[in-house]
Amino acid sequence: PLAHAELERVAKLLEDHFRDMQDLEFTIQRGQLFMLQTRSGKRTGKAMVKIAVDLVTEGRIDKREAVSRIDPAKLDEVLHPTIDPKARPPTAGKGLPASPGAAIGRIVFTANAAQEWAQRGETVILVRTDTSPEDIHGMKAASGILTARGGLTSHAAVVARGMGKCCVTACTSLRVDAAKKTAMFTTPGGKTLKEGDTITLDGSTGEVFIGSAPLVPAQLGSELGTLMQWVDEIRTLKVRTNADTPTDARTARSFGAEGIGLCRTEHMFFQPERIVAVREMIVATDEAGRRAALGKIMPMQRGDFAELFRVMHGLPVTIRLLDPPLHEFLPHSPQEIEEVAKDIGKTPAQVAARVADLTESNPMLGHRGCRLAITFPEIYETQCEAIGAAAAEVAKEGIEVLPEIMIPLVMVPEELRRLRVLVQTAMDKGLAGAKIPYTIGTMIELPRACVVADRIAEHADFFSFGTNDLTQTTFGLSRDDSGRFMPTYLDGGVVPNDPFAVLDPEGVGALIELGVRGGRGTKPDLKVGICGEHGGEPSSVELCHRMGFDYVSCSPFRVPIARVAAARAVLAEETRK
């Protein structure tokens, strides 16, 4: 008892001295206490938050020090379920940690199967070689997503993060045969799985496990709310969200998002009742045919935008006009081509010919982004008219609407000059006299755009750096394929981080800094943000703070992480001074 009382006295003394929870090593010999070592104790994400708040409550540290002690990345443990670290099973395969959290489910190999199984009460994991926009309904139904290909900014990764779903991409040892409904791990002793088998995913490490692993549920305690109040008192950088649906927008707003920094309009097109009209527009061979199909799409888009404006009442909503290559919306297998032909009243041969016409050798650098509007202006005209009409409709309900129209993939100032006129004309038509202010800006995502940013800024109200594509075009890396060899580069120390996960300060960062300096040299008050996935990565957020950004934008479940990172950036700056 005497030694125990002495241990309690020394433990309190050390905790008071270090002002932190301590991990003590000691021994007792012949009734006497000997202290061997002390260090700040390791802690879970939930414990990290609770200890920081408790220490402030006890008067041992102040709010600013509490925030400085928070590791933003560990907040994933608070926001998502995790695998119990005391009972991790052997790893069957490993890929990239594309979206955090953990998920258990029975595997299915198609989006339709995921939806059907989920409707009958099954918890499923969608396993694909890669996903495409047509898999959205299955991704929504699944509890987790596993792909053999892809990267940290591939379709599966971006969509999963937006939904808050666990996802592992680029599991290169996985061979998926969707036709036979099997998947095989090629690692020594690798197992073949069939539809209905159970697996567990760890989206925070990229590991895949056979069977069910024990999970620790997400635990949002009251301390997190207290901590986030302190965070918001410190940070100067705004945090917005990347959201394409009202559900994503509500989730992000509940996590403290201060607007939408990126609404990808193409994600609105893949619902079954919409994709037919979109394909009809793409297959059309003249402007009249395209406008007829776009006329069917406009009321759908108007409804989408109106609902987003309602959810984000009083906050800015940045809407990116259509960006991906048109062929992404078209079918490719003979069966799919036949189905589409029947839906839109064309022959399979006509649809197949159009698919062939639109297929490109390198679509990410092809006919996409603002290039679509230069060649087919009616596409952006329709979208902007729908945005204007939605803004006017919602404003009549007494809701404050702050639309921001973003034109993607600008490479020369003349593109933005021409399209600004087009966007303004279409917006004003949609507004129909309603006095609603709006801004028109561009996504800076090409190295050339960074170099000539001073001239591009002449036609822009804001810049938003699209760091997914800017990283891709700066490094010359395919964001969908680099996962095949990036682990070797990381393990061998060739690069310190995956540049699609952590913003590269020396190359991509230098281009961004050049772009900011050029843009604000022309317009000192130019609003500057970032809308790539780097907007939720802590070190990248700090870099944006140092470069004088107005905001970062990230997927909904990363908003709290970005808020903490932005506050820590202020504290780090104060320390440097």
Report whether pLDDT(541) > 90: yes
Structure tokens at 540: 């990248």
Report whether pLDDT(135) > 90: no
Domains of the chain: 2-73 (no CATH), 81-216 (3.50.30.10), 235-325+360-576 (3.20.20.60)
**3 state SS of 536:** helix
Q: Please identify every residue annotated as catalytic.
A: 155, 531
**Residue with structure tokens 């888009």?**
301
pLDDT in tens, 386-420: 999 999 999 999 999 999 999 999 999 999 999 99
**3 state SS of 466:** coil
| Rounded-to-integer distance, Cα 9 and Cα 30, Å | 19
Alpha-helical (H) ranges within 32-165 are: 45-57, 63-68, 76-79, 111-119, 136-141, 155-163
**Percentage of residues in the chain having pLDDT higher than 90:** 71
The pLDDT value given to residue 221: 79
Report whether pLDDT(2) > 90: no
Q: Which amino acid is at 76?
A: D
Long-range contacts of 374-378 (CB under 8 A, 24+ apart): 374/415, 374/418, 374/419, 376/287, 376/290, 377/422, 378/287, 378/290, 378/291, 378/294
Structure tokens at 287: 């402007």
Which regions of 368-415 does DSSP assign to beta strands (E)? 402-407
- The backbone torsions φ and ψ at residue 170, rounded to the nearest 5 degrees and listed phi first, read 55, 40
- The backbone torsions φ and ψ at residue 309, rounded to the nearest 5 degrees and listed phi first, read -60, -40
Burial 111-120 (b: 16+ CB within 10 A, else e): bebbbebbee
Pairing of strands 462-465, 527-530: parallel
Q: Which amino acid is at 481?
A: D
Report how far apart, in Å, the C-alpha atoms of 104 and of each of 73, 161, 214 are: 22, 17, 9
Structure tokens at 470: 């800017």
Report whether pLDDT(19) > 90: no
The pLDDT value given to residue 525: 97
| Rounded-to-integer distance, Cα 94 and Cα 186, Å | 11
Pairing of strands 93-94, 96-99: unpaired
pLDDT in tens, 211-264: 999 998 887 778 999 999 999 999 999 999 999 889 889 999 999 999 999 999
pLDDT in tens, 329-373: 887 778 878 888 888 888 999 888 888 888 888 888 999 999 999
The pLDDT value given to residue 152: 86
Arithmetic mean of pLDDT, 97-122: 94
Alpha-helical (H) ranges within 166-271 are: 222-234, 246-254
pLDDT in tens, 466-491: 999 999 999 999 887 888 888 899 98
Arithmetic mean of pLDDT, 197-224: 91
pLDDT in tens, 549-559: 999 999 898 99
User: What average pLDDT does the chain have?
Assistant: 92
**Residue with structure tokens 């759908």?**
300
Task: Please write down the HEC assignment for all residues of 140-186.
Answer: HHCCEEEECCCCCCCHHHHHHHHHCCEEEECCCCEEEECCCCEEEEC
Query: pTM for the whole thing?
Result: 0.85
| Rounded-to-integer distance, Cα 446 and Cα 473, Å | 6
The pLDDT value given to residue 499: 94
Quote helix, strand, coil % in the chain, to nearest 5. Answer: 50, 20, 30
Q: What is the DSSP string of 492-530?
A: TTSSSS-TTTS--TTTHHHHHHHHHHHHHHH-TT-EEEE
Long-range contacts of 223-229 (CB under 8 A, 24+ apart): 223/49, 223/50, 223/52, 223/53, 223/54, 224/49, 224/78, 224/560, 226/53, 227/49, 227/52, 227/53, 227/66, 227/67, 227/70, 227/564, 228/256, 228/560, 228/563, 228/564
> Where is mean pLDDT largest: 4-13, 154-163, 427-436?
427-436
| Rounded-to-integer distance, Cα 522 and Cα 540, Å | 25
The pLDDT value given to residue 330: 80
Judge whether 316 and 244 are in contact, CB under 8 Å: no
The candidate with the shortest Cα–Cα distance to 213, out of 110, 85, 45, 305, is 85
CA 437 to chain centre: 28
Arithmetic mean of pLDDT, 322-332: 83
The residue that leads in pLDDT, 53 or 333, is 53
Neighbours of 13 (CB within 10 A): 11
**3 state SS of 106:** strand
Nearest-5° angle of CA 363, CA 349, CA 289?
A: 70
Report whether pLDDT(207) > 90: yes
